[in-house]
Chain A
Amino acid sequence: MPFETLPLEPVELTAEQAEVMAQRQLKKHHVAIILLHWFNATVWLLELATGAGLIASSYFRFAPDWYLEILTSIFGSRANMLRFHISLGVTWIVVFAVYGIFGFRTYLEMEVLQREIALDRDDWRWLRIRLLRMLKRTAEALAPQGIYNAGQKLFAVMIYCMIPVIMATGVIMAFHLFGMAAVRWSIVVHFLAVGVVVSGLIVHVYMGAVFPEEKPAFFSMITGMVNELYAYRHHFKWWKEVKMQEREWERAFETGQPPAPAAPAAEPPLAVQPPARAASIFRSRDYWPPYVAGAGLGLTLLATFIVMGQGLGASGGFTRYLVAVIASFAPGYAAAHPYWSNYYQPGQSPLLDFLVFELIGAAIGGFVSGWLSGRLRVSVDKGPRISNRTRYALALGGGILTGIGARLARGCTSGLALSGGAVLSAGAFAFMMAVFAAGFAGAYLMRRYWL
């Protein structure tokens, strides 16, 4: 047990304490942030590489000839390179927008920004001491830091200012908005903002990938965990926060009282050591984390493209079931029908299609998944204020509307949004935006059936 009482200031650890703390892990990053980080890193790498190659004129350019030649030969033509640069940039904006919209409270609310990226007095002191220590002018200990240190915060502030600029100027250039002068200024500002970020990025990459003291920070961007010793030594204020919270919960568990709101007690009493926290995101018998499931779905989609030569779909499969039923009663009618004849020729079963079997597989897969995680039961999922019968009626109505909509759009969320999106069909993106817009509006209108 490293501490009887939590220290207010970082104190020298005994070897025994340090050893125990080095063994124990604290959760630092959510898996959503880890995925975003590496997505962002990949995008930056590719966008920087292609962006440098896009400035080609003798007057503006800074990349050497051989670099442009290599890039051109990779992409086939410079026009393809530009298309790639723009498509990836738009994807980047969409992903950030989704995170911003759905994670607004987690990442962007003022309180969060103040806690995570605004520099406080300790941070400025930390920067001063750090600088003096680099110049060998002082041996003073660094000021204690929160979840991110002052250097990381400075980088974050810079990023938060520059990323919107890069996105806006990029969109102006890509879609030729607001006239020629706006596009010209965008070229200059885009380059300047990227330059500012890159000079910070060099420090960021060095600190993360090379600097030995920050190695745990690098691995925390993969596992999400840091060891307690590192947290204690480099992010003392955050470590204390986590510990105090743990002790609050421990005490609540023992006394049966709900934990007091997070008013930081000066010296919280000692409690029993909490058990080490689960490191795996798959340990729980709950649903998969949506980001992992999303990546899995993407890989499944890729696999169907490779194996079957076509993407996933659902509504098309249902249409085939319907046509099969009709054709078994009235084959002549089905074959003459302007729409159903697309799926049925006499003598050939409409069920001989990948989508039909895929739907069967999806049902089996869902069953197996529920069974493996112990969620298998018969139930009607509904809001507390409505009867089962209302729920059935709503489900039927919603299903009919969805079916009509999917056929009007010539695809559903799987066939159009997912498979179409995977091949960058413009219709797919329009459909997705429409679905989300209608979904938000619909959810608001239907909220009293669920709350």
Chain B
Amino acid sequence: MARYAMVIDLHKCVGCQACTMACNSEWEVPAGYARTRVRFAGPEGAFPNLVASPYVAQCNHCDNPPCVKACPTGATYQTDEGIVVIDRALCIGCGFCVEACPYSARFLNPVINKVDKCDFCSARLEKDLQPACVATCTAHAKFFGDLEDSGSDVFRLVYEQGARRNESPAAHPGPNVYYSGKKANVDLALAAFPPRPPRLLTQGRFWKGFVKPLVLGMVGATFLGQAVAFFQQLKKGEGQFDD
């Protein structure tokens, strides 16, 4: 079983947004929204020692995705290959996952009113194609492959050249998008776009803390009450009501 990952070389990336455009046209993402997008950190420091870096934001296909736990209908799930996908037929557009994602990688697609995000181009993978952003990257800064295949680019970049995950003590869901390149670049980019702790919205806390126990309690109590009444009835017998 494969374990897919993506590595982005921030030193090679020129911030041209070709990946954004390729993805938007491949998946008909509405204008103004994007599944992947290059953002910029810096410049920082004093001339002539300035540092600036692009940062590619997208779904990280985490090992422990907080969005999957937050999705009430199970529309968001993780495949055996580690890809986090959305079953559009099941998504009702509630947005619990949007708030749960530490990387703000999810958004409500206003055309279908359902949640949208990167799925590592699962449909292209089935046809043995690279993800659209990887295939189109002008600087060849994006690498995609299987972490369990020791011959793959991503294996080399992650396990031999020390590409890094964007994690923090507050949010460490095990992202599978890695960043490599010059250390100063990567440091700056990861510091500028840290993950935020996963959030569970009010309605979710209300559900777990109040509504679910209330409903289960109510239904359970009436059921128990009727069960008691039933056994009393059994003991009393039915003969006296002949009408």
Contact = CB atoms under 8 A, between A and B. Distances in A.
A424 B96 CA distance: 32
Contact of B218 (A175, A186, A195): A195
Given A57-B72, A82-B73, A202-B226, A184 B203 contact: yes
Contacts of B226: 202-203, 206
A188 B211 contact: yes
Contacts of B93: 176, 180, 183
B212 A212 contact: no
B92 A183 contact: yes
Contacts of B214: 192, 195
A22 B68 CA distance: 62
Nearest to B223: A202
Interface string B222-243: 1101100110010000100101
Interface in A164-188: 173-177, 179-181, 183-188
B211 A174 contact: no
Residue among A55, A57, A185 with most chain B CB within 10 A: A57
A448 interface: no
Interface string A384-407: 000000000000000000000000
A183 B219 CA distance: 24
Nearest to A232: B243
Contacts of B95: 180-181, 183-184
Given A18-B243, A176-B92, A199-B219, 20 more contacts: A55-B72, A60-B72, A62-B216, A176-B113, A180-B108, A184-B95, A187-B203, A187-B207, A188-B211, A191-B211, A194-B215, A195-B219, A196-B218, A198-B215, A198-B219, A202-B219, A202-B226, A210-B233, A211-B229, A229-B243
Interface in A37-76: 54-60, 62
Given A56-B74, A202-B223, A191 B215 contact: yes
24 contacts: A18-B243, A54-B73, A55-B72, A56-B73, A56-B74, A57-B68, A57-B74, A60-B204, A60-B207, A78-B73, A78-B74, A78-B90, A79-B90, A82-B89, A174-B92, A175-B113, A176-B93, A176-B113, A180-B94, A181-B95, A191-B211, A195-B219, A199-B222, A210-B230
A250 B89 CA distance: 63
A28 interface: no
B204 A212 contact: no
A17 B215 CA distance: 47
- Give the top 8 A-B pairs by smallest Cβ distance, nearest first: A195-B215, A180-B95, A56-B74, A79-B89, A176-B113, A176-B93, A184-B203, A183-B94
A156 B106 CA distance: 43
Interface residues of B, number: 45
Contacts of A212: 233, 238, 241
A80 B42 CA distance: 49
A227 interface: yes
Contacts of A77: 89
Nearest to A230: B243
Contacts of A195: 211, 214-216, 218-219
Interface string B74-100: 100000000000010110111110100
B203 A216 contact: no
A57 B74 CA distance: 5
B208 interface: yes
A35 B42 CA distance: 70
